Amino acid sequence: MAAEKEGGVGTLIQQRLTTIITWLATFRSNRLVLLVWVLLFAPLLFVEMIPLFLGLLVARRVPGHVKWHLNRRAVMAT
Protein backbone atom coordinates (compact mmCIF):
# COMPACT_ATOMS: atom_id res chain seq x y z
CA MET A 1 0.00 0.00 0.00
CA ALA A 2 2.83 2.42 0.76
CA ALA A 3 4.22 1.93 -2.76
CA GLU A 4 0.89 2.97 -4.24
CA LYS A 5 0.92 6.24 -2.28
CA GLU A 6 4.42 7.08 -3.48
CA GLY A 7 3.73 6.39 -7.13
CA GLY A 8 3.81 2.62 -7.32
CA VAL A 9 5.25 0.26 -9.84
CA GLY A 10 4.17 2.37 -12.81
CA THR A 11 6.31 5.27 -11.64
CA LEU A 12 9.28 2.96 -11.07
CA ILE A 13 8.97 1.51 -14.57
CA GLN A 14 8.64 5.01 -16.05
CA GLN A 15 11.82 6.12 -14.25
CA ARG A 16 13.70 3.07 -15.52
CA LEU A 17 12.54 3.66 -19.10
CA THR A 18 13.48 7.32 -18.88
CA THR A 19 16.94 6.32 -17.66
CA ILE A 20 17.40 3.87 -20.54
CA ILE A 21 16.20 6.39 -23.14
CA THR A 22 18.51 9.07 -21.71
CA TRP A 23 21.46 6.67 -21.76
CA LEU A 24 20.78 5.72 -25.39
CA ALA A 25 20.59 9.39 -26.40
CA THR A 26 23.86 10.06 -24.58
CA PHE A 27 25.47 7.05 -26.26
CA ARG A 28 24.43 8.29 -29.69
CA SER A 29 26.03 11.68 -29.12
CA ASN A 30 29.20 10.38 -27.37
CA ARG A 31 29.90 7.01 -28.98
CA LEU A 32 33.68 7.20 -28.96
CA VAL A 33 33.93 8.23 -25.31
CA LEU A 34 31.53 5.55 -24.12
CA LEU A 35 33.14 2.82 -26.23
CA VAL A 36 36.56 3.68 -24.78
CA TRP A 37 35.04 3.54 -21.29
CA VAL A 38 33.58 0.10 -22.01
CA LEU A 39 36.92 -1.13 -23.34
CA LEU A 40 38.57 -0.01 -20.09
CA PHE A 41 35.79 -1.16 -17.79
CA ALA A 42 35.18 -4.71 -19.12
CA PRO A 43 38.73 -6.03 -18.55
CA LEU A 44 38.78 -4.47 -15.09
CA LEU A 45 35.57 -6.29 -14.22
CA PHE A 46 37.08 -9.56 -15.43
CA VAL A 47 40.22 -9.10 -13.32
CA GLU A 48 38.10 -8.35 -10.25
CA MET A 49 36.18 -11.60 -10.68
CA ILE A 50 39.26 -13.86 -10.86
CA PRO A 51 39.89 -14.29 -7.09
CA LEU A 52 36.48 -15.82 -6.34
CA PHE A 53 34.71 -12.48 -6.84
CA LEU A 54 36.48 -11.04 -3.78
CA GLY A 55 37.90 -8.25 -5.92
CA LEU A 56 34.38 -6.99 -6.45
CA LEU A 57 34.08 -6.14 -2.76
CA VAL A 58 37.04 -3.78 -2.87
CA ALA A 59 37.67 -2.61 -6.40
CA ARG A 60 34.11 -2.18 -7.64
CA ARG A 61 33.56 1.02 -5.66
CA VAL A 62 36.12 3.19 -7.44
CA PRO A 63 35.07 2.44 -11.05
CA GLY A 64 31.43 2.68 -10.01
CA HIS A 65 31.97 6.12 -8.52
CA VAL A 66 33.94 7.29 -11.57
CA LYS A 67 31.25 5.93 -13.89
CA TRP A 68 28.56 7.79 -11.96
CA HIS A 69 30.42 11.10 -12.36
CA LEU A 70 31.11 10.48 -16.05
CA ASN A 71 27.47 9.61 -16.69
CA ARG A 72 26.31 12.81 -14.96
CA ARG A 73 28.67 14.91 -17.08
CA ALA A 74 27.68 13.14 -20.29
CA VAL A 75 23.96 13.59 -19.61
CA MET A 76 24.44 17.25 -18.69
CA ALA A 77 26.33 17.81 -21.95
CA THR A 78 23.56 16.24 -24.03
The mean pLDDT of 43-70, rounded to a whole number, is 76
Write down the pLDDT at residue 68.
Answer: 81
User: Whole-angstrom Cα distance, residue 70 to residue 33?
Assistant: 10
Q: For residue 75, give the nearest of 5, 25, 34 by alpha carbon.
A: 25
Domain range list for the chain: 2-77
The mean pLDDT of 13-38, rounded to a whole number, is 84
C-alpha count within 13 angstroms, C-beta hemisphere, residue 56: 7
User: Is the pLDDT confidence value at 46 over 70?
Assistant: yes
In 6-60, where does DSSP find H-type helix?
A: 8-29, 31-49, 54-59
- Contact status, residue 22 vs residue 75, Cβ threshold 8 Å: yes
The mean pLDDT of 68-72, rounded to a whole number, is 80
The structure's pTM equals 0.50
From the centroid of its chain, how far is CA 14? 17
User: Is the pLDDT confidence value at 71 over 50?
Assistant: yes
Write down the pLDDT at residue 1.
Answer: 43
